[in-house]
Structure 1
Amino acid sequence: MNNNNKNTIRFHQYHGENIVLSEDNTVAYRNRSFANAVTFSERPLQPGEIFLVEIEQNESGWSGHMRLGLTQLDPLAIYRNGSIPQFALPDLAETGRSWIYGISKAHNYCIFPSTLPTNQFSFMTGKSSAFQKLNGEKTFIKTCRGSLPISLLKPLRSPSEDILPTDMGSRIGIMYVPTDQHHANMHYIINGEDQGPCIKGIPFTLAPLHVVVDVYGTTKKVRIVQLYVVPSLQSACRDAILQHITKNAVSSLPLPRMLKEYLLYQT
């Protein structure tokens, strides 16, 4: 089996009735309304593994934004027992064994363990009391599946551009960090910044933890950012271009239509 195919992170085939999956189940699009758009990760998340999505499209006229969290409920069992809940909050969360929050426009500062070398930090220690604000010297993070450039967690925009967590292009990640043999803390990573433990004491050994993504409210379309797949040269070039130009400006580039569509993830 191709290693890239094996390492690709996808959405689960069972999801809310208003969700349409595309691009090998790595893109989730809500085709109508503002609800019935709960999705899950195809497989459970590993301790210390980051699941990252980018908001590709918003839709005005609704209130609220994407909800993101973890659940120990099996997506297949949820589907077989009736139907996928209309909302992640409160419906899925109230069933128990689920830890979900709504993403808002406000967020905190990045934190990392101060005891690590200056060129990397780790989400694996679980020692939140040793965290301090991230500074520009840190370039890599250490996860259970290897080290990653911090740049992968950040939006493909010019650093001078302000971006809110709920904006198009924003990258929102989730992970859980074991604190002992049986418990873990859940973290959000927003545009390259670890928000610290928002939920503590999750009994992660009791059952596998799937990611929950509710494409709710103003959030219309999200894409899974593949952190553990070696990108093709073509894909790497696209990312480099989008770091210096907004997607809205792609149409004005002096390029053939097919290249513009590729830059916009339309092919």
Structure 2
Amino acid sequence: MGSCKSSLNGLDKLREASQPLCFHPTTKGSQIQLDAAHRTASRADTFCDGIVFSNRPVQLGEKVVLRVLRTQPRWDGGLRVGFTSLDPSQMIPNHLPRFACPSLVLQGRTWASLLPNACEEQGTIVRFWLDHRGRVFFEINNEHRRLLFKGVPVQGPLWAVIDVYGQTKAVQLLDQYGDLQELPRELPCSFLPDEPAHGDRCHLPRSSMEKCTICYAHMANTLLYPCGHTDCCHCCVQRMLATDNRCPICRRDIKDVVRFSLWGTDLQAPIL
């Protein structure tokens, strides 16, 4: 009986792995629009609320292949990728956080990191995958693989999580075995929404070594929403909000505060 159950579980996994990898049709950020095939995800407005998930668990060693279809230079920062043991079908879309890093990661059972600036260029092909030791690797345009982060538990099913963030405006999921040249390199103009009318720019930190512009003692680690400025430490922001709810840089009203940390800073050494 035990052998029969084991065989059935193996068949279920094979059937699941044979399904094309698409974006989950319903669990997605509030700014995400999907095409009819659920292979293209476009962020409509602002620089966040662009989290998407795979429609099925990703197998160990299976490469998730993305093409950056469109970028938006008005923002800073770009694509974040990783894996989650949370089943997207069991999530409530309206409860998704605005950011994969750090908000979704801090909720637990999700592991994600930002990718290098090279992934912000239109037409870039990004591959990322998880090995049996819980290490997440990535490749950019068929270059040498590099370690993104490690420490992902691999005992259960894991779904891919992608944050169409910042300069990354739209991405397309590609078949890891397919001919990339046959797929369109750009979205039809009719599919992409209009650009936001305002001219604000989100200034995300270029380095984890930036100091808070208020105290100059702690590292800047707090994002102010919706303006996107990240020039202050969390302590100074909390003290400031007690008397003033406006950003000290642009003076826009602060509607939310996100404390962050930077992952994936050691991305240059190839794993041979």
Which TM bucket (shorter chain)? 0.5 to 0.7
TM-score (norm: length of structure 2): 0.58
Which among 166, 169, 179 is matched to residue 220 of structure 1? 169
Partner of 1:189: 139
Partner of 2:101: 89
1:200 is displaced (CA, Å) by: 2.7
The separation in 2 between residues aligned to 1:75 and 1:57, in whole angstroms, is: 25
Partner of 1:165: 119
Q: Which has the larger radius of gyration?
A: 2
In structure 2, the CA distance between the partners of 1:22 and 1:198, relative to structure 1 (3 Å rule), is same
Asked if 1:100 is matched to 2:49, the reply is no
Check conservation: 1:58, 1:221, Cα contact below 8 A: yes
- 1:72-121 Cα offsets, whole Å, 9 max, x none, are 112122227x522211011101011211111222xxxxxxxxxxxxxxxx
Gaps of 5+ in 1: 106-163, 240-261
TM-score (norm: length of structure 1): 0.59
3-state SS of paired residue (2:38) = coil
Structure 2 letter corresponding to 1:212:
V
5 Å matches for 1:196-215?
A: 196-205=146-155, 207-215=156-164
Relative contact order, CA 8 A, sep 6+: which one is greater?
A: 1
1:202 is displaced (CA, Å) by: 2.0
1:201 is displaced (CA, Å) by: 3.4
Partner of 2:88: 75
Partner of 1:11: 23
Which among 62, 80, 87 is matched to residue 49 of structure 1? 62
Check conservation: 1:20, 1:29, Cα contact below 8 A: yes
User: Which piece of structure 1 moves more, 96-105 or 20-29?
Assistant: 96-105
Percent identical among aligned pairs is 28
1:27 is displaced (CA, Å) by: 0.1
1:194 is displaced (CA, Å) by: 4.1
5 Å matches for 1:89-128?
A: 89-105=101-117
The separation in 1 between residues aligned to 2:74 and 2:176, in whole angstroms, is: 32
3-state SS of paired residue (1:60) = coil
Gaps of 5+ in 2: 1-14, 192-272
The separation in 2 between residues aligned to 1:85 and 1:191, in whole angstroms, is: 30
The separation in 1 between residues aligned to 2:145 and 2:101, in whole angstroms, is: 20
The separation in 1 between residues aligned to 2:99 and 2:132, in whole angstroms, is: 28
Check conservation: 2:64, 2:128, Cα contact below 8 A: yes
In structure 2, the CA distance between the partners of 1:76 and 1:191, relative to structure 1 (3 Å rule), is same
The separation in 1 between residues aligned to 2:163 and 2:56, in whole angstroms, is: 16
The separation in 1 between residues aligned to 2:80 and 2:186, in whole angstroms, is: 25
The separation in 1 between residues aligned to 2:185 and 2:159, in whole angstroms, is: 30
Asked if 1:22 is matched to 2:35, the reply is yes
Check conservation: 2:78, 2:119, Cα contact below 8 A: no
3-state SS of paired residue (2:106) = helix
Structure 2 letter corresponding to 1:187:
F
Structure 2 letter corresponding to 1:102:
L
Q: CA RMSD in A?
A: 2.4
1:209 is displaced (CA, Å) by: 0.9
Check conservation: 2:29, 2:51, Cα contact below 8 A: yes
